[in-house]
Structure 1
């Protein structure tokens, strides 16, 4: 059996690499490539949606699985999702991040599906560094997160030293030129994340409280917790529910008025969280991913 997993040129898809490792453990051959380069003669090809117009598809013998990780953003999110539903056509199977995304897409056909939440690479499960160089690490997108740059400025003014991991435009870097509390390392490979996370006491999650961002799993939050970091976060639906459901203590940004010695916070066991159930292997096993993909060939 050979399975193709499609990549997009500018999208961050850690699940694609997790799929490859997981399937190969079951002796399944995996082609991990840009989606337009996937072999049409694979038994199954997995596509992360966006738009994949049915009229542009090449003649293919591969069963198609469409994965929906999120809902469309404003303006006109319902219209955008409706267009996707029509244009993308009907695959052999679908994967959704969660029930909210599945219901939001409003598919009415009987196409088989599974729900598969986000996971964490095994390499990120590590003991915290006893002598990190930074107070807080932020990993992820910067553009489009209204209020994030202001939060960088506020935290640095309180005395925190920040490490920013992710693509930052020249204008963003110029905004912090001369600010010795903020260090940008740019976009990095996933292999570098464990080392970078180990350079801080805490991780920063800042997600605009806007639908659908506020109902999506925060991958970076799971990664921070796996790395043994304390997590700073603003309050919004997903993170508040996660805190309540799992008993995770966060340092809420709206309650932070002065510098807190993070080394003393880490000594407090109340902030420790065992994130082992979010390892990718565990997440994929719970979702029934292997049997689902295998069923596409039947």
Structure 2
């Protein structure tokens, strides 16, 4: 790494999945050396004087002697004591040079004031979803859901509504980390199929084989403040979408002109027509959803460049 380029180290504890980091590394890789590492690896780096330390935020109370420090709040804490965890992050983390937030709702929830260091870096979609929007696939299922099925997500609200509306008349495929309790609840329902995890590169083809993409996102904290990435992915692929009436989904659909059939979170399938014929997103312009466009439009690239110039 003796190129003389500035370095961006994307730093996290590895406790959560950060597909965004891959997109950031691809985008900035032409201008900077880019690395993904742990906090201890960053602290031991020999070239901190030319390093941008870009933290995917957790608890980092010590500021390293690097060229630039960025705190990136992609999401809020989950689990027990989550609000206390977020308060600790605000009060005890080191003071950064720049702060990035997924959206304004997350900034507000964390209690940070909007100032000259504040930038918004929303979610985007990988290019493969846009590149494969014209893919033709034989229908394999009526409805598809991709994502977490942890108990706190309350996916039973979605599945109970589906059964109430369609019984055995339609099929519903779900992909994501297994939840034995949820699978046991719907054992014997042959038209509800749990398929487990699949590699992201296979997602577009699997999604295009479904008649409707289901975007169900919980209405409780912290999920009510976060942007569902699946809404963007379904829209980028041109799919027909059923979404629960989630505030960030509404904002995202308006921002990118993504068409959806909306349903109440407690019974989201109630108003779904039998022939599943509401407008899809085949004519929606997907280019603004792509990660390069999202990053470019956010202003963070120029913010980093200017901050480094002032050092």
Does TM, scored on the shorter chain, surpass 0.5?
A: yes
Q: 2-side partners of 1:191 and 1:83: how far apart?
A: 37
For residue 169 of structure 1, report the CA deviation from its aligned partner: 2.4
Q: 2-side partners of 1:3 and 1:116: how far apart?
A: 16
Q: 2-side partners of 1:85 and 1:194: how far apart?
A: 38
Q: 2-side partners of 1:292 and 1:219: how far apart?
A: 25
For residue 197 of structure 1, report the CA deviation from its aligned partner: 1.6
- In the other structure, the counterpart of 1:114 is 119
For residue 172 of structure 1, report the CA deviation from its aligned partner: 2.4
For residue 14 of structure 1, report the CA deviation from its aligned partner: 2.0
Change (3 A) 1:66 1:282: same
Conservation of the 8 A alpha-carbon contact between 2:103 and 2:120: yes
- In the other structure, the counterpart of 1:140 is 147
- In the other structure, the counterpart of 2:286 is 275
Alignment gaps of 5+ in structure 2: 1-5
- In the other structure, the counterpart of 2:176 is 166
Matches within 5 A, 1:66-215: 66-72=71-77, 79-107=84-112, 112-125=117-130, 126-127=133-134, 129-156=136-163, 158=166, 159-215=169-225
281-290 vs 106-115, which deviates more?
A: 106-115
Which secondary structure does the structure 1 equivalent of 2:195 belong to?
A: strand
For residue 143 of structure 1, report the CA deviation from its aligned partner: 1.2
Q: 1-side partners of 2:235 and 2:280: how far apart?
A: 13
For residue 115 of structure 1, report the CA deviation from its aligned partner: 0.9
Conservation of the 8 A alpha-carbon contact between 2:12 and 2:39: yes
Count residues in correspondence.
291
Q: 2-side partners of 1:74 and 1:141: how far apart?
A: 14
For residue 288 of structure 1, report the CA deviation from its aligned partner: 1.7
For residue 224 of structure 1, report the CA deviation from its aligned partner: 0.7
The yes-or-no answer on 1:48 pairing with 2:56 is yes
Over the residues paired in the alignment, what is the CA RMSD in angstroms? 2.9
Q: 2-side partners of 1:60 and 1:211: how far apart?
A: 35
For residue 271 of structure 1, report the CA deviation from its aligned partner: 7.4
- In the other structure, the counterpart of 1:226 is 236
TM-score, normalising length from structure 1?
0.84
Q: 2-side partners of 1:135 and 1:211: how far apart?
A: 30
- In the other structure, the counterpart of 1:261 is 275
Change (3 A) 1:109 1:286: closer
Q: What are the Cα deviations for residues 149-174 of structure 1, in whole angstroms up to 9, with x where unaligned?
A: 23224325613322212112222223
246-255 vs 130-139, which deviates more?
A: 246-255
Change (3 A) 1:270 1:115: closer
